[in-house]
Every structure is written in structure tokens, then in C-alpha cells.
Amino acid sequence: MFKPAGVCFQGTPITMSSDYRLPAILNHLIGRAMHDYAMLADGDRVLVAVSGGVDSLVLAWILRSWQKKAPIRYSLKAVVVVNEFWRRHPEVDHAVERITCQLQRIGIDHCVEQGWKMAENEQTCFSCARNRRSQLFDLARRQDCSKIAFGHHRDDLIETFFLNMLYGGNISTMVPKQELFGGNLALIRPMAYLEKTDILAIAEGLGVVAVGNLCPLSENTRRHKIRELLTNIYRDEPGAKKSIFAALANIRQEYLL
């Protein structure tokens, strides 16, 4: 499934497994999410957003793996956007090489795009994410892609729900599939039913190696604070994660203001 292992960058070599098989239960959860939200259709051109984290690299492998066995035909193009904060880091070239090396072994076509420059007063997590999203939309249009795939999972959806509730004053989250621009583009999240621990297990089985986030704010964000809050909740209430995720699809509007 992968190209032969070797060293394609300076540093510790990454050896990927060529015989890894997705566990049946995880395969089922991915398939169920794709079916529940009709994520892929015959003839789709899919842009895969790859950050270098374990989630997006595993997503690239999943979509490439499914491409070989799916009853429909779709094309894939992975894109790595080098944002403003990454560009300043002395290890940026090394990090990008580590990402693209793994994409090569997965066997997925890919490109590297330079992120849009931001003014000094705009250099925040929100601005960075907004610019990256806009650039992905623009690239999808230029590449004639009908879908953009993200590596978000169940934990991300729950965290976003709490972020929006605590900081945004609204009840909402990321959804597994979101149609934009009159249906001309859709954002899809095939791993929406998987937990972070599931993705880490897949990555370990594959030999996928996450590339550390070079952003200096990565460990000092609101999402990081929410993650710590939820970790405490899950520790005290072991069934809370399952219940919270179920609640996102069980809205009782008559009991809301």
C-alpha cells in the first residue's frame, strides 16, 4: 500500500507499515459516518487538508485506502498550507518535508501552498484559521474540487460545542458534512464518529508520525483550555463523552430560550 520505507528527509527515518488493516469496528464507524451524511459521490474531486498532525495524516491514508475499494470513483489531492506562524520558524522546511514524505508513502497526490500574509494586528488563532479556510476554498475552486476533507473527530466536535457555548454564546458545533456556496462545495469529516484514541491507534499501526505544531500559541489556546476541562469531566464521569456526543443530535428546542 505504501512505497518502500526509506529516509526522504534529514533526521529519524519514518517506517510505515505496508500490511496494516483498519480494525473492523473503526472501518464500520467511518463507513457509517460517510453513509449517514452522504459524504462522497461518484466523480467527486476531494481536497484533503493536511496540517501534519496525526489526524490529517491518518485521514489521508483512510481516503486513499477507501479509494481502492469503494464502489464509486473519486480523486484525491492533499494540500499543506504553510501559515504565517509556521513560515517564521527555523524548522519549517524540515517539518514540511516530513509531512510530504509521509504523503508520498501513502501514495496521495499533494502540493504545498504558502499561507496568506497577515498584518501584525491580525496575527491571532482566529485570523489564521479564517485565512487558511479562505485559502482552502480558493484552492478547491481552482482545482475544481467539490469536497474539502478535514481530519476532525468526535473529540473535536465536542470541544467546538463547548468553545461556542462558553466563548461564543451559541449552541453549535462542526458538523460531519456542511454544504457551502449553494451546494457547490461541501466540507466533510469522515472521522467524525472516531475518538482521538482510535486515530492514535491507527497511526501507531500504520507508523504515521505526527509533525509537531510549530505555532507558538498551540498550547495556549481556548481549545486547549476546553480540552483540559473536558479531560477532568471525563475522568469524573466516564460516560460523559458518549452522552455529550449523543446530545448534539438530540436537541429539544422547546426547552431552549
Across residues 224-243, what is the average pLDDT? 96
Terminal alpha carbon distance of the chain: 53
- For the chain, domain boundaries: 24-255
Across residues 20-36, what is the average pLDDT? 96
What's the whole-model pTM score? 0.90
Determine what percent of the chain is predicted with pLDDT higher than 70.
84
Across residues 48-72, what is the average pLDDT? 95
Q: What is the average pLDDT score of the chain?
A: 88
Task: Please say if the pLDDT value at position 120 is more than 80.
Answer: no
The residues that bridge with 77 in the sheet, in sequence order, are: 47
- Torsion, Cα of 10, 110, 96, 173 (10° steps): -140
In this prediction, residue 188 carries a pLDDT of 98
CATH architecture of the domain with residue range 24-255: 3-Layer(aba) Sandwich (3.40)
pLDDT digits (tens, 9 = 90+) for 188-210: 999 999 999 999 999 999 999 99
pLDDT digits (tens, 9 = 90+) for 87-119: 667 688 888 999 999 999 999 999 998 876 666
- CA dist., res. 223 & res. 133, Å (int): 18
Query: Which of 166-175, 220-229, 232-241 is predicted with the least confidence, judged by mean pLDDT?
Result: 220-229
pLDDT digits (tens, 9 = 90+) for 135-181: 999 999 999 999 999 999 999 999 999 999 999 999 999 999 999 99
In this prediction, residue 85 carries a pLDDT of 67
In this prediction, residue 227 carries a pLDDT of 96
Read off the C-alpha cell for 182.
449553494
Task: Please say if the pLDDT value at position 241 is more than 50.
Answer: yes
In this prediction, residue 4 carries a pLDDT of 35
In this prediction, residue 56 carries a pLDDT of 97
In this prediction, residue 93 carries a pLDDT of 86
In this prediction, residue 10 carries a pLDDT of 46
